[in-house]
Amino acid sequence: QSALTQPASVSGSPGQSITISCTGSTNDVGGFNYVSWYQQHPGRAPKLILYDVSNRPSGISDRFSGSKSGNTASLTISGLQAEDEADYFCGSYTRIFTLDVVFGGGTRLTVL
């Protein structure tokens, strides 16, 4: 069982918007603005798409956006494209001294 909770799957049609949630606690998501999101295509390494809740690394499309409310962070992908079909993981700094970073279980995005 992962420390952060994500839906197992979401889907959307090309051009639509989807949102993936990532729920933690006050010890991680809710306590710090250190949430990150990673995109992982099958057989590939994860790729950072958002950090510090809503910041995009250079080269990441502005179709990817992030937000946070309380203990839940969200990734929104607008204008869905076929290439967005992938697994998405959230991560967060945690002050629980068993781990420095915790991840969500991952969400499989299907573009219909």
Partner 1 sequence: QVTLKESGPVLVKPTETLTLTCTVSGFSLSNPRMGVSWIRQPPGKALEWLTHIFPNDEKSYSTSLRSRLTISGDTSNSQVVLTMTNMDPVDTATYYCARIPAGAPVRHFDHWARGTLVTDSS
Q: Nearer Cβ to partner 1, position 45 or 82?
A: 45
Q: Nearer Cβ to partner 1, position 51 or 71?
A: 51
List, in sequence order, every residue forming a beta bridge with 72; answer none if it has no partner.
Answer: 23, 69
Report the C-alpha gap between 32 and 67 in whole angstroms.
13
Q: Nearer Cβ to partner 1, position 37 or 84?
A: 37
Least separation in angstroms between residue 92's CB and partner 1 is 9
Helix (H, G, I), strand (E, B) or coil at 106: coil
Helix (H, G, I), strand (E, B) or coil at 6: coil
Residues that bind partner 1 (CB under 8 A): 2, 34, 36, 38, 44-48, 51-52, 57, 89, 91, 93, 97-106
Distance of CA 72 to the CA centre of its chain: 11
